[in-house]
Amino acid sequence: MVAGFHLPRLPTLADRCKSMTELKQIQAQLTTLGLAGDNFLVSKLLLFSAVSDSGDLGYSHCIFLTLPSPRTFIYNTLIRGYSRSTNPNRALSLYVQMLRAGDPPDHLTFPFLAKSCARLASPLLGRAIHCHISKRGLGLDLYILNSLIHMYASCGQMPAAHKVFDEIPLPNLVSHNALIDGFAKCEDLMTARLVFDRMPERDVVSWSAMMDGYVKGGDARSALALFEKMQVCGPRANEVTMVSLLCACAHLGVLEKGRGLHQYIKANGLGLTLAVATSLVDMYAKCGSIGEAMEVFLSFPGEKADVLMWNAVIGGLAMQGMSRDSIEMFRQMVRIGIKPDEITYLVLLSACAHGGYVVEAWEFFRLIQAQGMVLLAEHYTCMVDVLGRAGRVGEICELVMGLTMEPSGAFYGAMLCACQSHGWVELGEVVGRKLVELEPEHDGRYIGLSNLLAVRRRWEEAKRTREEMEKRGVRKAPGQSEIEVAGRLHGFIAGDRCHPDSAQLYWMLTCLTKQMKMEVDGSILDSGFSLNFAS
State the pLDDT confidence band at 6, using cuts at 50, 70 and 90: very low
Q: Dihedral through CA 297, CA 300, CA 301, CA 302, nearest 10?
A: -10
Range name among 59-68, 297-306, 334-343, 426-435 with the lowest pLDDT average: 426-435
Instruction: Give how far Cα 79 sits from Cα of 91, 237, 408, 514, Å.
Output: 5, 33, 41, 73
pLDDT tens figures, 244-279: 999 999 999 999 999 999 999 999 988 889 999 999
Tell which wins on pLDDT, 395 or 438: 395
Q: What's the whole-number mean pLDDT along residues 506-510?
A: 81
Q: What is the pLDDT of residue 2?
A: 45
Whole-prediction pTM value? 0.77
pLDDT tens figures, 213-236: 999 999 999 999 999 999 999 899
Tell which wins on pLDDT, 7 or 410: 410
Does 8 score more than 70 pLDDT? no
Q: What's the whole-number mean pLDDT along residues 417-427?
A: 77
Highest mean pLDDT among 207-211, 468-472, 522-526, 528-532: 207-211
Q: What is the pLDDT of residue 435?
A: 74
Q: What is the pLDDT of residue 1?
A: 40
Exposure b/e, 325-346, CB count within 10 A at least 16 = b? bbbebbeebeeeebebbebbbb
Q: How far apart are CA 61 and CA 77, in angstroms?
A: 10
Answer for the pair 436, 469: CB distance below 8 angstroms, yes or no: no
Q: What is the pLDDT of residue 70?
A: 87
Our CA angle for 533, 534, 535, nearest 5°, is 90
User: Bridge-partner residues for 330, per DSSP?
Assistant: none
Q: What's the whole-number mean pLDDT along residues 46-61?
A: 76
Among residues of the chain, what percentage have pLDDT more than 70?
A: 82
Alpha helix (H) residue ranges in 374-457: 377-389, 393-401, 409-422, 425-438, 443-455
User: Bridge-partner residues for 485, per DSSP?
Assistant: 488
Q: What's the whole-number mean pLDDT along residues 100-127?
A: 94
Mean pLDDT computed over every residue of the chain: 84
Q: What is the pLDDT of residue 184?
A: 93
Instruction: Give how far Cα 407 sits from Cα of 42, 81, 272, 322, 403, Å.
Output: 55, 41, 41, 29, 8
State the pLDDT confidence band at 472, using cuts at 50, 70 and 90: low
Range name among 95-104, 261-270, 299-308, 474-483 with the lowest pLDDT average: 474-483
Q: What's the whole-number mean pLDDT along residues 159-178?
A: 94
Q: How far apart are CA 112 and CA 102, in angstroms?
A: 19
DSSP 29-91: HHHHTT-TT-HHHHHHHHHHHHHSTTS-HHHHHHHHHH-SS--HHHHHHHHHHHHTSS-THHH
Residue ranges of domains in the chain:
205-305, 408-490, 497-535
Does 323 score more than 50 pLDDT? yes
pLDDT tens figures, 431-470: 777 777 777 766 667 677 677 677 666 677 677 767 666 6
Q: What's the whole-number mean pLDDT along residues 287-298?
A: 94
State the pLDDT confidence band at 310, using cuts at 50, 70 and 90: very high
pLDDT tens figures, 74-83: 899 999 999 9
Residues 6+ apart with CB under 8 A from 528: none
Q: What is the pLDDT of residue 192?
A: 96
- Does the domain at residues 408-490 carry the CATH identifier 1.10.150? no
Tell which wins on pLDDT, 106 or 410: 106
DSSP 380-400: HHHHHHHHHHTT-HHHHHHHH
Answer for the pair 393, 424: CB distance below 8 angstroms, yes or no: yes
The closest alpha carbon to 384, from 407, 411, 366, 403, belongs to 411
Answer for the pair 385, 400: CB distance below 8 angstroms, yes or no: no
